[in-house]
């Protein structure tokens, strides 16, 4: 969960809130119990970047809690018209006192493209591909990037009996602890293209190297590499990591999150893939070493020399229980 939290928006009168809810049909949104953030009754805006590799011309939709009614939608940028690749912006007016789900899927027009670092190409995602992020308190959040890491957190959050703000915050905290070794800045970093890392911040390089490792996992995992297309392989890797994240958690609720130490974690899968990359064992679709498809600074500095610290981060992932996280302290 991105940590740019403020005090939220100004609450209007109850009459105005009811009128807005009736006008938009959002009054019955959600329904989970527990620690819900204050209802928003003015315009709420959230933006960010969607990336596995950067997702260009993808559809982004927001939903209130478990409702199937769209709050807002947008299309990610493709680098033209002044909109950065993968960037999105959502705004809505109405009441939503539940966590907000952000879901990124390929656009129906078939023009969505996803950068694949392992093959150095743009691929067209399958129609069933999706990335998710769940925002604990939308009224107090301005930026939410959507990545395989936030998808892992969404999978963990959905294991909660009730999708409350605290349970969502604890799910994010668990992925930060178990996959990112406690490095919240890398978890929340803005995704960058591999071609734009020269001036990137350390946490952005770490996230870029992680996303590259996920692309390599798609080419290295026995189940995923058996898929017929690059897009199917990537989807397989993303879904496998989120499934591992969900399965490796005993429970998540308002009080915290407890990992199942007997289960393999996503960090275990990624650490093995990173080691295999370094050993030259990961091949692309043409049978070539995937390191040859990476910019030199990524292959040499970030992976082989671990300048980004990804290897150390994965190794530092802990399996201790996460106690309740303050919503205002994420």
Q: What is the pLDDT of residues 6-25, one digit of tens each?
A: 333 333 333 333 343 334 33
Residue ranges of E strands in the chain: 43-49, 55-56, 58-64, 70-75, 87-93, 100-106, 113-116, 121-123, 131-135, 249-253, 256-259, 322-323
pLDDT at 193: 83
| Helices and strands per DSSP (H, E), number in the chain | 10, 12
Integer CA distances (angstroms), 158 to 37, 99, 245, 291, in order: 18, 11, 11, 36
Question: pTM for the whole thing?
Answer: 0.83
Whether residue 5 has pLDDT greater than 50: no
pLDDT at 300: 65
Give the three-class secondary structure for 134.
strand
Arithmetic mean of pLDDT, 32-42: 56
Q: How do residues 87-131 score in pLDDT, each as one tens digit?
A: 999 999 988 999 999 999 999 999 999 999 888 889 999 999 999
Whether residue 330 has pLDDT greater than 60: no
Q: How do residues 200-232 score in pLDDT, each as one tens digit?
A: 898 998 898 899 999 999 999 999 999 999 999
pLDDT more than 90, % of the chain: 55
Contact, 88 vs 191, CB < 8 A?
Answer: no
């Amino acid at each position: 969960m991105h940590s740019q939290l403020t005090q939220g928006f100004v609450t209007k009168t109850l009459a105005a809130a009811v009128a807005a809810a009736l006008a938009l049909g959002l009054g019955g949104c959600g329904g989970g119990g527990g620690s819900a953030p204050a209802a928003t009754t003015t315009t709420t805006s959230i933006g960010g970047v969607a990336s596995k590799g950067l997702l260009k011309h993808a559809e982004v939709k927001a939903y209130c809690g478990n409702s199937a009614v769209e709050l807002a939608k947008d299309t990610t940028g493709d680098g033209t018209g002044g909109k950065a690749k993968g960037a999105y912006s959502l705004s809505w007016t109405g009441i939503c006192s539940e966590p907000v789900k952000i879901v990124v899927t390929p656009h129906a027009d078939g023009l969505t493209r996803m950068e694949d670092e392992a093959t150095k190409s743009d691929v067209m995602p399958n129609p069933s591909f999706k990335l998710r992020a769940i925002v604990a308190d939308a009224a107090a959040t301005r930026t939410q990037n959507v990545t395989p890491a936030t998808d892992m957190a969404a999978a963990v959050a959905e294991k909660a009996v009730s999708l409350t703000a605290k349970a969502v915050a604890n799910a994010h905290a668990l992925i930060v602890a178990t996959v990112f070794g406690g490095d919240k800045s890398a978890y929340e970093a803005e995704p960058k293209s591999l071609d734009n890392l020269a001036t990137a911040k350390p946490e952005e390089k770490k996230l870029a190297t992680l996303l590259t490792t996920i692309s390599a996992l798609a080419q290295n995992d026995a189940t995923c590499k058996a898929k017929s297309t690059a897009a199917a392989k990537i989807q397989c890797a993303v879904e496998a990591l989120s499934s591992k994240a969900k399965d490796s958690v005993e429970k998540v609720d308002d009080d915290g999150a407890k990992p199942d130490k007997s289960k393999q974690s996503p960090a275990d899968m990624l650490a093995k893939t990173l080691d295999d990359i370094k050993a030259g064992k990961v091949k692309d679709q043409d049978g070539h070493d995937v390191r040859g498809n990476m910019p030199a600074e990524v292959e040499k500095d970030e992976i082989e020399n671990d300048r980004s610290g990804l290897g150390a981060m994965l190794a530092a992932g802990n399996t201790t229980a996460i106690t309740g996280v303050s919503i205002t302290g994420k």
